[in-house]
Amino acid sequence: MQVGDITCVLDARAQLGECPVWSVDEQALYWVDILAPALHRLDPATGATRTWSMPSRIGSFGLRETGGAVVALVDGFHLLDLDTGALTFVAGPERVPGTRFNDGKVSPEGRFFAGTMDEEQLSRPIAALYRLDPDHTLHRMLDGLIVSNGLAWTADGATMFHSDSKGPVVWVHDYDPVHGTVTHRRVLARPTDEQGRPDGAAADMDGFYWSAGISAGVLNRWAPDGRLDRSIPLPCSNPTAPCFGGPDLRTIFVTSLRHGMAPDVLAAKPLSGGIFAVRVDVPGVPIARYRG
């Protein structure tokens, strides 16, 4: 597999950059800074940016078919009007103290999945994965998680990837797009700290799983059989999430963080908190839009 040079497309200096989503229609990249908290938009062709400030930490979001976005804030799910910035609350689970929403993604048929995490101790299995249907009903899908992360689907929509960053473990599930259910969970990989604990992720058209190795400063490509196919060093200390974009979906955009970095580490990796791009020869699976 050929990999091109890595470039910094935006020196964003994000405290906690996450959840990149490529809009095929706009040829633009949306992403969040969880701690700002804000949703951002970047036009890679022009460098133009736009920001929507959020009232609480934004773990993730999905673009909507009818325009705007669905966002996962501290209290649950809201619809965001991108023209006015107005938020409309739609649903939320009972809050578990010490948790917040984290990684989320729209499934191929248009449901929005998002999970929570133990933000205070990063060790307690008190988090869960939720599904928001187009009719705005909320469903608890999985329990016993520490840091829900790494959602992605294969091109045929039949397999869902999901990880727990503090497991650390990457799972695959059989996915039923008719009912939005997951079954037959099995382990794909158990990445070590040296390999890179799994954070945000994306899938390519060959069924491989691209995972940000947050503890090792790398972007990992895991094969369907659980083999580590490739590990790409990045010019940042802690990459957080990849997504495929560009006109041919062969550019991987990767977000990163700079929050909590020691001064000497930041001096060695001054672009941490930026957004990076790497060209690959296998296109990615496009991210769907939420139908609600």
In terms of Cα–Cα distance, which of 151, 186, 140, 148 is closest to 167? 148
The catalytic position among 33, 103, 199, 204 is 199
Paired residues of 142 in beta bridges? 129
The whole-angstrom separation of Cα 108 and Cα 168 is: 26
Instruction: Verify whether residue 83 is a known catalytic residue.
Output: no
The whole-angstrom separation of Cα 243 and Cα 231 is: 16
Residue appearing with tokens 């016993």: 144
The whole-angstrom separation of Cα 239 and Cα 34 is: 14
In terms of Cα–Cα distance, which of 123, 207, 112, 197 is closest to 163? 197
Which residues, 6+ apart, have CB-to-CB distance to 38 below 8 Å? 32, 51, 52, 53, 54, 58
Which residues, 6+ apart, have CB-to-CB distance to 165 below 8 Å? 117, 146, 147, 149, 150, 197, 198, 199, 214
* SS3 letters across 54-122: CCCCCCEEEEECCCCEEEEECCEEEEECCCCCCEEEEECCCCCCCEEEEEEEECCCCCEEEEEEECCCC
The whole-angstrom separation of Cα 168 and Cα 213 is: 11
Active site residues: 199
